[in-house]
Amino acid sequence: MPRARPPRGTHDLIGEELRRHRHVVETARTIAARFGYAEWATPIFEDTEVFARSLGETSDVVAKEMYTFTDRSGDSLTLRPEGTAGVCRALVSNGLTQALPQRVFYAGPMFRYERPQKGRFRQFHQIGIELLGPTHPLADAEAIACGALVLETLGLAGEVRLELNTLGDTESRTRYREALLAYLRRFAAELSEDSQRRLEKNPLRILDSKDPADRAIVAGAPLITDYLSAAAARHFEGVKRALTAAGVAFTENPRIVRGLDYYSHTAFEFVTDRLGAQGTVMAGGRYQGLIAEMGGPAGAGGVGWAAGVERLALLIAAPPAAPPAVTVIAPLGGEEGLAPAATPAVALLKALAGAGLSAELAYAPLKRALARAAEAGARAAVILGSPEAGPGEIVVRDLARRSQTAHAEPAAAVAAVLEIVRSAP
């Protein structure tokens, strides 16, 4: 017998929690569309190499968190831990590299094996955008401005702050890597096991360590902003000027590095103080080379962000529930079947839904069903087999005005319900 609870790190979305979740996704979808982003849907699993090569073998995601399995054909597949790599793969697979730029919005479940905590799950949901093609700093500012408006529209403008950094270009990171290595080697014995493993392979990854001892060491490390090439510095200044002109406030945080290898130049996070230590609710940046990694042109860049739906849903006010416009009341017969008068109930339900109304059958005694309909905010009730009506007649009751009419034909009953809804205060 299966256990009566979901697997660790997963959760059911029901009632108000699902309404919050849906409100976050629909708000992001609407705002992204206003910025010209079209929605794409990529597979929930991909060839493992799509993630292993692009995210970086020393990243926590690849080293510890991916759900990877071998299928019956012997192919290695991975449940997607993030959306960007799959979107870039889809760009190349569908022959769209000759039609750049492409603006992409996505939403859906992601999977990472990590310790569950507040707003963080092993199956979680993300919304995100990718602006594929342009390498101009205005593209970075555009993506950030879109994310800022999503958060503002969700009512979170006063709850989050934007932190901004640059990871520079290849020249910048080469110079910085040497300086960082020289610093970190002095503390090699004190670093965590993970950071010791990363020291020679990818020392920048240590800057993203969550280990308290590592973080204390990193606090004194040199800053990449002191090693920027002239081109990287101009790019970052361009991003900041564009954001300032757009009225998007930000704070520079030179410690932001992001957790995946494909990032370069701009990196940013929208953070809050309401979710404890894990306060990032939306994050992203620019990446160069990821599209080429998937087989696309070397010069194509990209910039985007992703946001955790569960975390945002914890922060927003509950969206109002849409009250049902009508409840169909259908007194049922005994165990042997329907009462003859209730037989048209499903036909009426379908007709009301087809007319654009929210309708449902009530499987309860008449008095209780009417009380529940009123509590739910229903405007009308359709009663079959009412003792107050003649044989075969359908009663339509206006629940607000406490008046009712009887109708011989289903079409007339539907018309009466529509009139009640239209004239409702």
Say if residue 280 is in the same domain as residue 393.
no
Average pLDDT over residues 344-362: 91
Please indicate, yes or no, if residue 201 is contained in any of the structural domains. no
Say if residue 24 is in the same domain as residue 64.
yes
Say if residue 390 is in the same domain as residue 249.
no
Checking DSSP bridges between strand 263-271 and strand 280-288, what pairing results, if any? antiparallel
**Per-residue model confidence (pLDDT) at position 209:** 82
Alpha carbons 135 and 119: distance in angstroms, whole number: 33
pLDDT band at 61, cuts 50/70/90?
low
Per-position b or e across 93-124, b if 16+ CB within 10 A of its CB: eeebbeebebbbbbbbebbbeeeeeebbbbbb
- The CATH number given to whatever domain includes residue 283 is 3.30.930.10
Of all helices (H) and strands (E), which one includes residue 57?
none
Please indicate, yes or no, if residue 6 is contained in any of the structural domains. no
Say if residue 290 is in the same domain as residue 330.
no
Is the pTM value of this prediction over 0.85? yes
Say if residue 333 is in the same domain as residue 255.
no
Please indicate, yes or no, if residue 219 is contained in any of the structural domains. no
Say if residue 418 is in the same domain as residue 290.
no
- Final residue in a domain of this structure, among 315, 343, 361: 315
- Final residue in a domain of this structure, among 269, 292, 315: 315
Say if residue 288 is in the same domain as residue 370.
no
Residue 119 DSSP one-character state: T
Alpha carbons 328 and 352: distance in angstroms, whole number: 9
Range of 350's domain? 326-422
Say if residue 133 is in the same domain as residue 235.
yes
Alpha carbons 310 and 295: distance in angstroms, whole number: 33
Using CA atoms of 406, 412, 417, 422 in order, give the dihedral in degrees to the nearest 10.
-130
Please indicate, yes or no, if residue 289 is contained in any of the structural domains. yes
**Per-residue model confidence (pLDDT) at position 256:** 87
Say if residue 164 is in the same domain as residue 264.
yes
**Per-residue model confidence (pLDDT) at position 333:** 57
Please indicate, yes or no, if residue 21 is contained in any of the structural domains. yes
Please indicate, yes or no, if residue 208 is contained in any of the structural domains. no
Assigned token pair, 339: 């009462």
Helices vs. strands in the chain: H and E counts, helices first? 14, 16
- CB within 8 Å of 277: residues ≥ 6 apart: none
Please indicate, yes or no, if residue 23 is contained in any of the structural domains. yes
Alpha carbons 199 and 61: distance in angstroms, whole number: 17
- CB within 8 Å of 19: residues ≥ 6 apart: 318, 319, 321
Say if residue 92 is in the same domain as residue 39.
yes
What sign results for the dihedral spanned by CA atoms 353, 357, 358, 361?
A: negative
Residue range 235-287, pLDDT digits in tens: 999 999 999 999 999 999 988 876 556 778 999 999 999 887 668 999 999 99
Residue range 372-400, pLDDT digits in tens: 888 888 999 999 988 888 888 999 999 99
Count structural domains, the chain: 2
**Extended strands (E) in 38-140:** 38-39, 45-47, 68-70, 76-79, 102-111, 123-133
Say if residue 136 is in the same domain as residue 266.
yes
- Final residue in a domain of this structure, among 294, 315, 336: 315
Alpha carbons 221 and 424: distance in angstroms, whole number: 66
Q: Which residues does residue 404 pair with via DSSP β-bridges, in sequence order? A: 397
Residue 120 DSSP one-character state: B
Please indicate, yes or no, if residue 122 is contained in any of the structural domains. yes
pLDDT band at 69, cuts 50/70/90?
very high
- The CATH number given to whatever domain includes residue 395 is 3.40.50.800
Say if residue 301 is in the same domain as residue 347.
no
